[in-house]
């Protein structure tokens, strides 16, 4: 057991306008199971990379711990090989028997070590790389988003595995995973960093209690500021009025006023003006305290949506439907039956590879053939179909792809290509906690969470009869997830979505279709 001491850490990417970290200091224990929480783009992955020595920085990070980082980078050439052939390249000193022991804890057979890595499913690849990660000794492990793209069964397996380990930092936005796996949290707030004991729910409860206290104190400061401003304005008016009587007077009405009154009035006015100055200082002090209270307060703005109403109640009808790729031995799925009515939020659920994304692409393809707007339609897939897969005519769909790799260039070009209002688009991104400085960057320089927010903002700005979101929350921070949950419950759009976040699915879905 040792400590990691961070002192006056300051870091900025070369050519960037803003510091990711500025004079940050805190300490953590290498025996902890530490959850790393924060908004997208705040520097979680960057901090992990600073620990591994990938970037130069100002300040100091002091520790005698050795670090290892997940996910490992697997090259295209390595994907053609079995993992056993390049274990040493992933982790120096990695022994095969240790990996096999870790795979057993992940409920995976050792044979995935000897199959070509590229032929493994997402879940198998993740489990294999985690087994490699934990096969060493005395390393402090840095685990970055291990459950993205994993189905529910694989997530449960990874959750149970990580909960049995210790000595790691886990970056994740999955509330269920964080609750099960961690005993401390490291939180990147808006203006500070804090370390707390407990899991996500404990931290969230403490944060809500703290935010309520801050809001109450803020209200008290606002009332005090208002009272002081009113008193200062009244005293200033009295001072001005008194000053105007210093020179000249009505000898009839003020017959008892002598020559000595002018110095007296001047002194009285000066005293009142001094009171105004003191009140101004107190107002400034109250405002400073108020701003200090609010610097770390998270106040997610309520998002808005513009769903369209269709003349038909049933928008998608699927009956006894089967899908098989040309040349494949077996169908992706068979006998699927369900429908989507207006106002329903249908979640597609199932293991990786069961055909969720394939079904979504077919629905998009069917809808595109019945409307002049084919902006989101994929290219025709080489498949064989049986049964019925129909969409209502004239259906407008707003689609969020799970892939973000196509996002290139600047925000203005993106908006122009998609016929989006640039000002409104930027306003939605601001509501999703985008800093204004990000608008000047190219999208390929964004974090994965920021790229996902670009796609979500485009979808929110597109009026549609049906919203189709394929794993929309991958890499999205916890606060934004709660914003989106609240939005969907408030506006009740017709939605077909794939999402492995259990809490989101339970909160949002009106119907779950299991493939």
Q: What is the DSSP string of 15-83?
A: T-SS-SEEEEEEEEETTSEEEEEE-TTSSHHHHHHHHTT-S--EEEEE---EEEEESPP--HHHHTSBG
User: CB of 96 within 8 A of CB of 113?
Assistant: yes
pLDDT in tens, 85-125: 999 999 988 999 999 999 999 998 999 999 999 888 878 88
User: CB of 484 within 8 A of CB of 459?
Assistant: no
pLDDT in tens, 447-477: 888 999 999 999 999 999 999 999 898 888 8
Mean pLDDT for the stretch of residues 334-340: 93
In 3D space, the residue among 261, 79, 175 whose CA is nearest the CA of residue 485 turns out to be 175
Q: To which residue do tokens 């196509």 refer?
A: 406
Structure-block tokens of residue 382: 């080489």
Q: What angle do CA 39, 432, 473 make, to 5 degrees?
A: 70
In 3D space, the residue among 407, 490, 400 whose CA is nearest the CA of residue 444 turns out to be 407
Q: Which residue has the higher pLDDT, 494 or 282?
A: 494
Give the C-alpha separation, 409 to 418, whole Å: 13
If one counts every other C-beta atom within 10 angstroms of the C-beta of residue 81, the result is 16
Query: What pLDDT does residue 24 have?
Result: 87
What is the DSSP code (8-state) at residue 312?
A: S
Give the C-alpha separation, 453 to 271, whole Å: 57
> Rounded to 5 degrees, what are φ and ψ at 384?
-110, 135
In 3D space, the residue among 49, 7, 35, 33 whose CA is nearest the CA of residue 447 turns out to be 49
Query: What pLDDT does residue 380 have?
Result: 66
> Rounded to 5 degrees, what are φ and ψ at 493?
-75, 165
Alpha carbon of 372 to those of 368, 377, 395: distances in Å? Answer: 7, 11, 10
Mean pLDDT for the stretch of residues 336-344: 94
Q: Provide the Cα torsion 98, 101, 105, 109; round to 10°.
A: 120
What is the DSSP code (8-state) at residue 169?
A: E
Please enumerate in sequence order all residues whose Cβ is within 8 A of that of 285, keeping only pairs 6 or more positions apart, or say none.
Answer: none
If one counts every other C-beta atom within 10 angstroms of the C-beta of residue 342, the result is 19
Structure-block tokens of residue 202: 């404990």
Give the C-alpha separation, 358 to 333, whole Å: 10
Q: Does 19 score more than 70 pLDDT?
A: yes
Alpha carbon of 371 to those of 364, 377, 387: distances in Å? Answer: 11, 11, 22
User: CB of 468 within 8 A of CB of 360?
Assistant: yes
Query: What pLDDT does residue 249 have?
Result: 55
The three-state secondary structure class of 213 is: helix
Please enumerate in sequence order all residues whose Cβ is within 8 A of that of 240, keeping only pairs 6 or more positions apart, or say none.
Answer: none
Give pTM, 2 decimals: 0.74
Among 10-24, 162-176, 303-317, name the one with the lowest average pLDDT: 10-24
Structure-block tokens of residue 213: 């206290």
pLDDT in tens, 366-425: 888 655 444 444 556 678 888 999 999 989 999 998 888 889 999 999 999 989 999 999
User: CB of 323 within 8 A of CB of 333?
Assistant: yes
Please enumerate in sequence order all residues whose Cβ is within 8 A of that of 469, keeping only pairs 6 or more positions apart, or say none.
Answer: 399, 400, 456, 459, 495, 496, 497, 498, 499
E-only strand ranges, 114-220: 139-144, 168-171, 184-188, 193-197
Structure-block tokens of residue 321: 């439907």
Q: Does 263 score more than 90 pLDDT?
A: no
Q: Which residue has the higher pLDDT, 294 or 504?
A: 504
Query: How would you classify the pairing of strands 58-62 and 3-11?
Result: antiparallel
Give the C-alpha separation, 23 to 43, whole Å: 14
Q: Does 162 score more than 90 pLDDT?
A: yes
Q: Does 491 score more than 60 pLDDT?
A: yes
In 3D space, the residue among 72, 137, 132 whose CA is nearest the CA of residue 106 turns out to be 132
Query: What pLDDT does residue 212 have?
Result: 85
Query: What pLDDT does residue 87 have?
Result: 92
């Amino acid at each position: 057991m040792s400590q990691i001491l961070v002192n006056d850490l300051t870091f900025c990417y070369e050519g960037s306008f803003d510091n990711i970290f500025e004079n940050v200091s805190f300490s953590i224990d290498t025996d902890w199971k530490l959850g790393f929480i924060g908004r997208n783009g705040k520097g979680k992955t960057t901090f992990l990379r600073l620990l591994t020595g990938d970037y130069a920085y100002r300040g100091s990070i002091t520790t005698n711990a050795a670090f290892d980082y997940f996910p490992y980078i697997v090259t295209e050439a390595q994907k053609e090989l079995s993992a056993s052939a390049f274990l040493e390249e992933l982790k120096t000193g990695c022994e095969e028997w240790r990996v096999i022991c870790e795979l057993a804890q992940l409920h995976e057979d050792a044979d995935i070590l000897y199959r070509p890595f590229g032929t493994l499913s997402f879940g198998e690849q993740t489990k294999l790389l985690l087994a490699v990660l934990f096969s060493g000794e005395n390393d402090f492990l840095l685990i970055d988003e291990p459950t993205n793209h994993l189905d529910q069964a694989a997530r449960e397996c990874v959750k149970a595995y990580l909960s049995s380990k210790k000595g790691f930092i886990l970056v994740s936005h999955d509330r269920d995973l964080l609750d099960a796996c961690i005993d401390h949290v490291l939180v990147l707030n808006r203006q500070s960093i804090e370390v707390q004991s407990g899991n996500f729910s404990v931290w969230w409860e403490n944060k809500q209690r703290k935010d309520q206290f801050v809001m109450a104190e803020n209200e008290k400061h606002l009332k005090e500021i208002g009272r002081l401003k009113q008193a200062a304005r009244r005293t200033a008016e009295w001072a001005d009025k008194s000053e105007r009587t210093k020179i000249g007077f009505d000898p009839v009405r003020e017959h008892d006023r002598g020559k000595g009154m002018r110095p007296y009035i001047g002194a009285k006015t000066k005293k009142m003006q001094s009171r105004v100055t003191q009140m101004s200082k107190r107002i400034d002090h109250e405002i400073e305290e108020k701003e200090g209270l609010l610097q770390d307060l998270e106040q997610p703005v309520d998002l808005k949506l513009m769903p369209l109403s269709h003349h038909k109640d049933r928008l998608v009808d699927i009956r006894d439907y089967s899908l098989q790729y040309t040349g494949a031995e077996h169908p992706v799925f068979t006998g699927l039956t369900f429908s989507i009515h207006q106002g329903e939020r249908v979640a597609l659920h199932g293991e990786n590879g069961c055909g969720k994304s394939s079904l979504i692409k077919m629905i998009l393809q069917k809808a595109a053939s019945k409307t002049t707007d084919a902006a989101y339609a994929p290219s025709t897939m080489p498949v064989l179909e049986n049964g019925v897969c129909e969409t209502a005519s004239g259906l407008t769909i707003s689609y969020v792809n799970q892939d973000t790799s196509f996002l290139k260039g600047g925000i203005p070009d993106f908006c122009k290509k998609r016929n989006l209002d640039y000002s409104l688009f930027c306003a939605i991104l601001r509501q999703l906690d985008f800093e204004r400085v990000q608008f000047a960057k190219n999208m390929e320089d964004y974090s994965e969470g920021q790229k996902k927010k670009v796609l979500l903002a485009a979808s929110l700005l597109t009026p549609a009869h049906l919203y189709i979101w394929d794993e929309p929350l991958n890499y999205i921070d916890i606060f934004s997830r709660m914003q989106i949950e609240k939005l969907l419950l408030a506006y009740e759009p017709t939605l077909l979505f794939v999402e492995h976040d259990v809490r989101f699915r339970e909160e949002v879905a009106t119907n779950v279709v299991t493939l």
